[in-house]
Chain A
Amino acid sequence: MSGYNVVGQRVPKLDAAQKAMGRAEYIQDVRLPGMLFGKILYSRHAHARITAMDISKARALPGVHAVLTGKDIPSKMRMGFYKDNPPLKADKVCCFRDEIAAVAAVSEAVAKKAVSLIEVEYEPLPAVFDPEAAMEKNAPLVHEAHKSNVLKLPWKLHYGDVEAADKASAYVVEDRFTTTWVTHCCLSTSGAVALFDASDNLTVYSNTQIPSLAQKDFLETLGAMGLKGKRVRVIKPVIGGGFGSKLDTYAYEHIAILLAHKCRKPVKILFDRKEEFEATSTRQPTVIYIRQGCDKEGHLTFRDIRMVLDNGGRTSWGATTPSVMMMPITSLYRVPNVRYDAKCVYTNNTYAQAMRGYGNPQATFAIESCMDMLAQKAGIDPVAFRRINQNEPGDVTPQGFKITSCGLAQCIDAVEKELTQGRPLEEGEGIGYASLIHVGGGARIYKSDGCGAILKMDDYGRVDIFTGGTDMGQGLDNMIAQIVAEELGLLAEDINVVHTDTDVCPWDVGAHASRSTFVAGNAALWAARRAKQTLLAFGAKLFEVAPEDLVMENRTVSVKNDPEKTMPVDKLLRKAHFSPGGTMLMADYFYDPPNENMGKDFKCNLSVTYSFGVHGVRVHVDKETGKVTVKNYVAAHDVGRAINPMLLEGQVYGGVIMGLGYALSEEVMIKEGQIRNPNFRDYKLFTAKDAVPIKAPVIETHDPDGPFGAKGIGEPGCVPTAPAVANAIYQAVGVRIKDLPITPEKVLAAILKQSKGS
């Protein structure tokens, strides 16, 4: 049907059998000769001065090789893009998560014991935990040198004339929404192993999503340590879940490097689950004020959003999520006038990082909840209201996004059809909808949005492809294998994808922004095209035809319309190899999509293409307990083309359940800066028993720039889930919950308040 043999097939994940047999090696399983174990000591206060630290007992413990404190690290070492975070803090702590000392010892038990022997004296300081309070004049300063708790970041835009549009609107709604901390909960906890060779070249095993940028960060660390001109090699073991958590480098990686250099031995730091909750990052929490209007016919007239983001005590990528929130704010539905202002504010809480969707779920929660409120005010059915405002191919949004392929309309149709067919609504049930836009072709957030691919073919018709991209379970290996196999007329199993080692793999900006299928896929596709060109040129000589007259299919090269003239690929490869002046098939490609950097006013075409989706959900609300039960869920996405429908569905299902957790159950509970539920007992991930029936209609719009028409789909599954649920709850029982997660307490409180009011 599609005319493709491998693309579009449900090829099992290439590493699935290894994983099914328990043979995949994760960071937990990395063990090097002579390896020591590192442990980190964290702050006991949310905000305090360190007045004294005594490490003598720890150092004296047999088996301890090194103890490091903030005083021992190079003064220039700073982590994160805002450079406010030394890997060990010397004088002052700004949150419970602050690392203040570290130990390397012969075993985990000894390291743990040694850490417990470090004596620290603190002078507690007044702390601030509410970002809005932290903006007030007399609020305690989290970083005195910064002079203000508000970060100096440029998240502000205004396109069109919001005030005029506001005045001219027939209907306007406004409200306040909040989203709280949730966290990635990768089943594999974080960890790293660092070791130096005799010449001070560094190797780091780390389950990172950004091998090339991690390499750069580690080189900076070496520079600060006075080790200029040395090499850094980053090796990724099999990654046990990413979801954005591994998009920055963390203190534990830099500490492992410092300890390894001090001890001249490999040092491994592996988090336990409590540490994973307490010392890794969260999704960015937000306070959102939204005002939105439409005209009499229901056309959106303006959207005006102000946000306060709790930045916590230090800065990681969470502070840049407003740059992605701009996407739904300016470009989800046609809205001519847009204003947005976001402030990131230091507090003494934990701090946020990238997490699947990168700000989009938070912004979409407010926008799509508000869409239903506005539709109601305008007296228009929520689905019809979305149709009136839907994005269309050829649109240029106020931010300058050029919409090429766009299947939002088809997605709305598909979801509505699935949800309204069959069983009528029962008492206490309601249906809610929400849409999404996300970058589908990468996003230029760094100087380069590129990815390299190096391809070689052997004498047996097999391909090794070295990609900069990262598979952390989402299935990039298959995308690359299926794309390359399709292009070269091979089978997916003929393709070996290597993505684990910066010594052999080319550069890539990282596994984020749902970009890997598109960017790493295109790089692989172009490398395959180059290889094909070379091979066909050789074949053309052999068969005495033009290269255009040859086809590669079913592991053979044949002359079109002449079935006699055919040769298995492996034979042709050997002929090329062993002919005089022999040729080995090798090709490479660096693909950098024509995505634009954000200008001063943030106008740009951030991504060469955009993915769209619509989610719909039927819920039941128990009016006496406030408990929300998801009856069924439909998530339709415009993916351009499904390279592998099975893995695509896996991304959607996984995203939806993560989104439902965000909507209903998950929450890192923080009280006065301290995490109260650092375990799976009280951090409520969905279990198999909570799993809900999900349908995932796939809309294929064949994107002109995507590899075989494909767009990114890694993140969208969890983007509009929370507002779809909130809208369904409103339809069911008439209460609107504006604060995530939507717990039974919140729903019941709203129901009781409503019944008292009436």
Chain B
Amino acid sequence: MTKTISFILNGDEISCDIQDHWTLLHLLREELGLIGTKEGCGNGECGACTVIVDQLAVNSCLYLAADVQGKQVQTIEGLAVHTGSLHPIQQSFVDNGGIQCGFCTPGMIMSAKALLDKDPKADQEAVKHALAGNICRCTGYVQILDSVAAAGRQMAKNQGEGAAAAKDPGTITQQSMNKKAGEVIT
């Protein structure tokens, strides 16, 4: 059956027609063209399709599109939009070798974000627990865990620098962005 749903996708209120049996993954990839969310297994066993719905990491391959009615959905495409620059988690994955083939990366980053938004100081055990549902075949996880730890430190620091004023707790402040740009030039 077709119905119309409204929800907030990466900060934008949108309204679209869906079929009842569509998964959120189908809606994002096939209908809305947001190809950043990946399908690795279709059964909730690899985490490549992870998105955040109302602050919770979920497998979009098992989540019905109809169920996002009235909710906030964040996908990998939504992380860098506010500033045009990379989110600290994305930047950290880039800087610390957390990305090889990259297919698990969007889901991995979304799982990390759901955790670090709540607790940027999460210890390694907590990070492993939160990321255990995201399979990576390339990295052996070592540099992914490093990336998440470094991102957490950066996010905690950003919060300390007053980013709390920003809407999205993960958004880079102008101040830290300038500093970042400065680092690149020198």
Q: Which residues of A are at the interface with B, using a C-beta cutoff of 8 A?
A: 10, 12-13, 15-26, 28-29, 184-189, 238-243, 272-273, 472-475, 646-647, 649-650, 653-658, 679-681, 685-689, 691, 694
Q: Are A657 and B94 in contact (CB under 8 A)?
A: no
Q: Are B39 and A691 in contact (CB under 8 A)?
A: no
Q: Which residue of B lies closest to A660 (CB)?
A: B140
Q: Which residue of A lies closest to B108 (CB)?
A: A688
Cα separation A291 to B110 with both chains bound (whole Å): 52
- Decide yes or no whether B169 CB sits under 8 A from chain A: no
Cα separation A465 to B124 with both chains bound (whole Å): 40
Listed by A's residue number, 5 A-B pairs whose Cβ atoms lie within 8 Å are A21-B36, A187-B138, A649-B142, A650-B140, A687-B135
- Of the stretches B63-71, B75-83, B153-161, the one at the interface is B75-83
Q: Are A16 and B132 in contact (CB under 8 A)?
A: no
Chain A nearest CB from B62 CB (Å) reads 13
Chain B residue numbers with a CB within 8 Å of A24 are 102
Q: Are B139 and A654 in contact (CB under 8 A)?
A: yes
Q: Which of B39, B94, B132 contacts A687 (CB 8 A)?
A: B132
Q: Are B39 and A13 in contact (CB under 8 A)?
A: no
- Decide yes or no whether B46 CB sits under 8 A from chain A: yes
Q: Would you call the interface of chain A mostly helix, strand, loop, or mixed?
A: loop
Q: Which of A20, A473, A647, A658 contacts B101 (CB 8 A)?
A: A473
Q: Are B97 and A646 in contact (CB under 8 A)?
A: yes
Cα separation A558 to B39 with both chains bound (whole Å): 52
Q: Which residues of B are at the interface with A, using a C-beta cutoff of 8 A?
A: 34-43, 45-46, 48, 75-77, 79-80, 86, 90-91, 93-97, 99-106, 109, 127-129, 131-145
Chain A residue numbers with a CB within 8 Å of B39 are 28
Chain A residue numbers with a CB within 8 Å of B46 are 187, 273, 680
Chain B residue numbers with a CB within 8 Å of A16 are 93-94, 99, 102
Chain A nearest CB from B142 CB (Å) reads 4
Chain B residue numbers with a CB within 8 Å of A10 are 97
Q: Which of A26, A273, A685 contacts B43 (CB 8 A)?
A: A273
Q: Which residue of B lies closest to A687 (CB)?
A: B132
Chain B nearest CB from A15 CB (Å) reads 7
Chain A residue numbers with a CB within 8 Å of B37 are 22
Q: Which residue of B lies closest to A656 (CB)?
A: B140
**A-B pairs under 8 A by CB, number:** 175
Q: Are A650 and B145 in contact (CB under 8 A)?
A: no
Chain A residue numbers with a CB within 8 Å of B79 are 21
Q: Are A241 and B140 in contact (CB under 8 A)?
A: no
Chain B residue numbers with a CB within 8 Å of A273 are 40-43, 45-46
Q: Are B139 and A650 in contact (CB under 8 A)?
A: yes
Cα separation A655 to B100 with both chains bound (whole Å): 12
Q: Are B103 and A240 in contact (CB under 8 A)?
A: yes
Chain A residue numbers with a CB within 8 Å of B132 are 687-689
- Given the known interface contacts A273-B42, A654-B139, the answer about A240 and B76 at a Cβ–Cβ threshold of 8 Å is no
Chain A residue numbers with a CB within 8 Å of B86 are 17, 20-21
Cα separation A23 to B133 with both chains bound (whole Å): 22
Chain A residue numbers with a CB within 8 Å of B106 are 22
Q: Are A13 and B140 in contact (CB under 8 A)?
A: no
Q: Which of B80, B129, B143 contacts A650 (CB 8 A)?
A: B143
Q: Which residue of B lies closest to A184 (CB)?
A: B137
Chain A nearest CB from B57 CB (Å) reads 13
Chain B residue numbers with a CB within 8 Å of A13 are 94, 97, 99-100
- Given the known interface contacts A21-B80, A26-B38, the answer about A691 and B145 at a Cβ–Cβ threshold of 8 Å is yes
Chain B nearest CB from A271 CB (Å) reads 11
Cα separation A472 to B86 with both chains bound (whole Å): 23
Which 4 interchain pairs have the tightest Cβ spacing? A22-B36, A473-B101, A19-B102, A657-B140
Q: Are B140 and A187 in contact (CB under 8 A)?
A: no
Most buried by B among A189, A243, A658, A691: A691
Q: Are A20 and B144 in contact (CB under 8 A)?
A: no
Q: Are B138 and A650 in contact (CB under 8 A)?
A: yes
Chain A nearest CB from B111 CB (Å) reads 9
Q: Which residue of B lies closest to A273 (CB)?
A: B41
Q: Which of A187, A188, A689 contacts B128 (CB 8 A)?
A: A689
Cα separation A475 to B139 with both chains bound (whole Å): 12
Chain A residue numbers with a CB within 8 Å of B34 are 22
Cα separation A686 to B137 with both chains bound (whole Å): 9
- Given the known interface contacts A20-B90, A22-B106, the answer about A28 and B128 at a Cβ–Cβ threshold of 8 Å is no
Instruction: For the A-B complex with A21-B80, A187-B46, A273-B43 known, give 11 more contacts whose Cβ atoms are closer than 8 Å.
Output: A12-B95, A22-B105, A187-B40, A241-B101, A475-B100, A650-B138, A650-B139, A657-B140, A680-B135, A685-B137, A694-B140
Cα separation A689 to B47 with both chains bound (whole Å): 14
Chain A residue numbers with a CB within 8 Å of B94 are 12-13, 16-17, 20
- Given the known interface contacts A241-B138, A680-B41, the answer about A187 and B109 at a Cβ–Cβ threshold of 8 Å is no
Q: Are B134 and A188 in contact (CB under 8 A)?
A: no
Chain B residue numbers with a CB within 8 Å of A25 are 35
- Given the known interface contacts A16-B94, A28-B35, the answer about A240 and B45 at a Cβ–Cβ threshold of 8 Å is no
Q: Are B137 and A17 in contact (CB under 8 A)?
A: no
Cα separation A637 to B83 with both chains bound (whole Å): 42
Cα separation A647 to B76 with both chains bound (whole Å): 24
Chain A residue numbers with a CB within 8 Å of B104 are 187
Chain A nearest CB from B10 CB (Å) reads 11
Chain A residue numbers with a CB within 8 Å of B95 are 12
Most buried by A among B99, B102, B128: B102
Chain B nearest CB from A534 CB (Å) reads 31
Chain A residue numbers with a CB within 8 Å of B127 are 688
Chain B nearest CB from A196 CB (Å) reads 25
- Given the known interface contacts A20-B86, A29-B35, A688-B128, the answer about A649 and B135 at a Cβ–Cβ threshold of 8 Å is no
Chain B residue numbers with a CB within 8 Å of A184 are 137
Q: Which of A20, A26, A472, A474 contacts B109 (CB 8 A)?
A: A20
Q: Are B140 and A647 in contact (CB under 8 A)?
A: no
Cα separation A15 to B103 with both chains bound (whole Å): 12
Q: Which residue of B lies closest to A238 (CB)?
A: B102
Q: Which residue of A lies closest to B109 (CB)?
A: A20
Q: Are B99 and A19 in contact (CB under 8 A)?
A: yes
- Given the known interface contacts A29-B35, A185-B137, A691-B145, the answer about A473 and B100 at a Cβ–Cβ threshold of 8 Å is yes
Q: Are A658 and B100 in contact (CB under 8 A)?
A: no
Q: Which residue of B lies closest to A188 (CB)?
A: B103
Q: Which residue of B lies closest to A472 (CB)?
A: B101
Q: Are B137 and A20 in contact (CB under 8 A)?
A: no
Q: Are B140 and A240 in contact (CB under 8 A)?
A: no
Q: Which residue of B lies closest to A693 (CB)?
A: B142
Most buried by B among A650, A655, A688: A688
Chain B nearest CB from A561 CB (Å) reads 27
Chain B residue numbers with a CB within 8 Å of A685 are 135, 137
Cα separation A653 to B77 with both chains bound (whole Å): 29
Q: Which of B129, B131, B133, B135 contacts A187 (CB 8 A)?
A: B135
Q: Which residue of A lies closest to B39 (CB)?
A: A28
Chain B residue numbers with a CB within 8 Å of A186 are 101, 103, 137
